[in-house]
């Protein structure tokens, strides 16, 4: 989904267009930047969609692999049974020539005791039926083995092709996304866009609503935006509010705000709770896990300091508050949250 154009960047383009002889070129570059942002966002969306599809098709592939393993198992059983009846088949083929007390099964065609001949006939009939059953079973096993082997080969071939095709599709989308992102960064470099403006351009506020759907401390990285303070992130709407708060703070104190903690994953919440039981929020309930809370330093952590007083007077202009509970239960002057209390 496309990122909304930064108002600050738009203003820069307007001023440069009006005052500079190269204004038209700058405006064109701005249009190119906007186009690149749309393309990069579209590429990321396509990659996410393909990744979800790949997971679904991976399930089908796994099911096919299960079927393949079952087929190979059945094939092995058929092979084993066929091997077991080969010897009885060979014995039955010659058994009619091993009758004692007569001239074998052929006695019925010559002289000899009629009663003996009759018994030989019955023996031959029984043996013939047994032999025919084994022969029929052997034929059935041979046919089944052939079908199973064909199915196994087809499954192996199809699975290999599908696996390769899926990987090629995802790799292609990854390459496209990386290429467009690199082009966007190159354009930002060309326009000498500040790091703060880069952060603003890459932070899509529309993702904030989606971020709220995830459990506390389990928000995926794509729904979080980086802060100027390295290593810290917030939910998109909170981050955009913080960028403005930070800029105002910097104009007043000459430096970026000092941040000790921002978004806190569930595992990080467990770690903090283990170190500060009874003080830190129960894991899974912290506003840090929603991506809308900050712990500040640089003077703000001291109630009554110039920095803390400035925050009390100005943070609300940018959507940030010091919640009522943080004044007494427990007292945490360093803790600030984005949005209305209990939101």
Tokens 């096919």 appear where?
64
In the CATH hierarchy, which fold is given to the domain comprising 1-193? Helix Hairpins (1.10.287)
pLDDT averaged per 10 residues, the chain (length 343): 39 38 52 69 73 72 74 74 70 56 45 55 58 69 75 78 78 77 69 67 85 92 91 94 94 95 93 83 90 96 95 96 88 91 60
pLDDT of residue 120: 54
- Pick from 227, 230, 327, 339: nearest CA to 290: 339
CA distance 277 to 283: 11
pLDDT in the model for residue 121: 54
Measure the CA–CA gap between 88 and 267, rounded to whole angstroms. Answer: 66
**Reported pTM:** 0.51
Computed from CA positions of residues 77, 78, 81, 83, in that sequence, does the dihedral angle turn out positive or negative?
Answer: negative
Residue 278 φ/ψ region, left for φ over 0, alpha for ψ in the -120 to 50 degree band, beta for the rest: left
HSE-CB for 83 with a 13 A CA cutoff:
6
Q: CA-to-CA distance for 202 and 225, rounded, in angstroms?
A: 8
| CA distances in angstroms from 126 to 88, 110, 121, 123, 319, listed in the order given | 14, 20, 9, 5, 96
Which CATH number is 203-343 given? 3.30.1380.10
**How far is it, in rounded angstroms, from Cα 177 to Cα 171?**
10
| Residue that is written with structure tokens 């309930």 in the block | 285
- What whole-number distance in Å separates Cα of residue 183 and Cα of residue 41? 12
Contact indicator for 92, 131 with CB cutoff of 8 Å: yes
Element (H, E) at 320: strand 320-321
CA 158 to chain centroid: 24
Closest C-alpha to 227, from 127, 144, 65, 338: 338
Domain boundaries, the chain: 1-193, 203-343
pLDDT of residue 247: 92
DSSP secondary structure, 158-214, as one string: HHHHHHHHHHHHHHHHHHHHHHHHHHHHHHHHHTT--HHHHHHHH--TTHHHHHTTS
pLDDT at 26: 46
């Amino acid at each position: 989904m496309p990122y909304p154009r930064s108002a600050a960047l738009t203003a820069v383009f307007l001023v440069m267009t009006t005052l500079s002889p190269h204004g038209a070129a700058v405006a064109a570059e701005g249009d190119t930047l906007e186009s690149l942002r749309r393309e990069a966002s579209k590429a990321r969306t396509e990659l996410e969609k393909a990744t979800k599809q790949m997971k679904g098709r991976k399930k089908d592939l796994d099911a096919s692999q299960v079927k393949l393993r079952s087929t190979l198992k059945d094939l092995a059983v058929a092979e084993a049974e066929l091997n077991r009846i080969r010897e009885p088949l060979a014995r039955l083929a010659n058994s009619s020539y091993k009758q004692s007390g007569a001239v074998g099964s052929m006695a019925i065609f010559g002289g000899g005791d009629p009663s003996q001949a009759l018994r030989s006939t019955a023996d031959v009939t029984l043996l013939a039926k047994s032999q025919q059953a084994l022969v029929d079973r052997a034929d059935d096993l041979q046919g089944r083995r052939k079908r199973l082997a064909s199915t196994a080969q087809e499954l192996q071939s199809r699975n290999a092709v599908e696996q390769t095709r899926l990987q090629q599709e995802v790799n292609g989308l990854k390459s496209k996304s990386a290429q467009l992102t690199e082009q966007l960064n190159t354009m930002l470099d060309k326009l000498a866009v500040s790091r703060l403006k880069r952060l603003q351009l890459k932070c899509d506020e529309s993702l904030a609503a989606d971020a709220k759907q995830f459990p506390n401390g389990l928000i995926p990285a794509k729904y979080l935006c980086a802060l100027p303070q390295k290593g810290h992130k917030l939910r998109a709407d909170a981050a955009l509010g913080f960028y403005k708060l930070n800029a105002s703070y910097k104009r007043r104190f000459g430096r970026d705000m000092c941040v000790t903690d921002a978004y806190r994953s569930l595992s990080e919440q467990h770690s903090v709770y283990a170190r500060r039981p009874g003080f830190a929020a129960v894991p899974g309930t912290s506003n840090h896990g929603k991506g809308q809370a900050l712990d500040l330093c640089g003077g703000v952590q001291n109630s009554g300091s110039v920095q803390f007083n400035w925050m009390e007077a100005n943070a609300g202009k940018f959507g940030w508050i010091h919640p009522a509970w943080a004044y007494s239960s427990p007292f945490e002057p360093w803790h600030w949250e984005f949005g209305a209390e209990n939101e």
